[in-house]
Chains A and B, each alone.
Chain A
Amino acid sequence: MNMNKKLKQELSHYGRGEWSQDSLQKTCAAARAAYGEQDRKERIGFWKFVIRQIRFAGGSLWILQAAVLIVTCLTLDIHLHAGASGYGPLGFVLSLASVATAMTGIPYLCRSVRHGMYETETASRVSFAGLLLARLLITGIGNLIMLAAFFALASLKMPLSINAIGYMLLPFSVIWLGIMVLMRLACDQLLPALCAAYSIIIMAALFALYQIVPQVFGQSSVLIWNIVCIVIIAGLAWQIRTMAKKPAYMDGVSM
């Protein structure tokens, strides 16, 4: 439009070429000086932060994971010796073991709200989101070791094909997804109890399935387990990503 052109013409000529090289140089020198006297704060990156968290995870997480590992192995060993054998029972046993595995992370992941540290942590630079990621990694590594151990033990009883890990990964990711969702919606004192209750319900559901529809754990169902597992893991990844993209605000907190 004519008006636009006229405006542009007039206004962009205003003051054109009136700056001086001198003052530009002065500005550059001043800027350099200002940059130099900045207190260049060094800050650690994410991975260094994770490594530092290992110390604070405390032996308590790993002791718990080790204890659950041993107890679960013994329990399931007994169960399997008691005559149950074959894919079905093994699948059932693995799924229970994976729920127990996932549950070991609950105390550690929910530490912040249990002990009133949540608000202080959220206000820090790394904030709760970064802390949560670090905790998920540390817990996850322990959990993976546990799951691998269970799988290895089960394979001793009966040779299992690799896609049998679906029996473990599906319940495991369902539990973790539930924990993440609960954390986003109800990050307060009740959180650990809610997570535990949720896990127990899943465990009860597995029991019920085994009694009523044992074929669900049979060899023919493995494929379905794996497919559903992939969907759940995708959901879990997306949930974690949402929570990590911004620091966990006090928005959902009722305290």
Chain B
Amino acid sequence: MTREANLLKKIEQGDLTYLDELIACYYPDIFRYCLWHTENRQTAEDAAQETFLRFVRYFDRMAYRNKVKAYLYKIAANVCIDMRTKRRSEELPENLSMRERGYEEAEDEADFLRLVRNLPQHQQELVILRFGQDLTLRECAQVTGLPLRTVQSRLRSALKKIERQLRKGGKENEYE
């Protein structure tokens, strides 16, 4: 979007109020994305902040001005992976659980969301980006680096899988 290109140009020239504007624009979505991946509010806030910090640090390197959104999600994905790896190495096995969020919804998490969580990683990620974060197919392709066709076919497989599970009565799967 040219609006973004304009924002970037202004930031480059040193006007940091536009940086605030850029962050404020994307923060809620990036935070939600991080929340899904980290399942912990504090960690999600840290992850979101780290995402924007990296964005600023790599500012000079951005070769593509009109793909800010995809770029931010790419960084966020990496940040979440790094945080998961770090957490895994710091945690004791007994505490390892998917329910760390600390608010009630965790226990009553709709079967539906649970079905999405049980999807294999490569499908789950696309489902989240497409339906949770409302990215276009093209943007999904940019974020994951996959060809458009692969994105479409994986989404189709994911939807089929969810449908099948729902038909079975939406029963819980064993965690993989």
Contact = CB atoms under 8 A, between A and B. Distances in A.
Interface string B153-165: 0000001001100
B19 A32 contact: yes
B25 to A, nearest CB: 11
Interface in B10-28: 11, 16, 19-20, 23-24, 27-28
Contacts of B163: 3
A30 to B, nearest CB: 6
A18 B112 CA distance: 20
A22 B23 CA distance: 13
B71 interface: no
A83 B35 CA distance: 90
A22 B134 CA distance: 25
B95 to A, nearest CB: 22
A30 B20 contact: no
A11 interface: yes
A41 interface: yes
Contacts of B55: 31
Contacts of B128: 11
Contacts of A34: 53, 56-57
B159 A14 contact: no
Q: Interface majority SS on B: helix, strand, loop or mixed?
A: helix
A28 B55 CA distance: 12
A30 B31 contact: no
A20 B45 contact: yes
A27 B49 contact: yes
Interface in B90-113: 110, 112-113
A20 B49 CA distance: 12
Given A4-B159, A19-B31, A30-B49, A10 B23 contact: no
Interface of A: 1, 3-4, 6-8, 10-12, 14-16, 18-20, 23-24, 26-28, 30-32, 34-35, 38, 41
13 contacts: A7-B127, A7-B131, A7-B162, A10-B112, A12-B132, A12-B134, A14-B32, A16-B32, A19-B32, A23-B49, A30-B52, A38-B56, A38-B57
- Minimum-distance CB pairs A-B, first 6: A11-B132, A19-B31, A7-B131, A15-B32, A15-B35, A23-B45
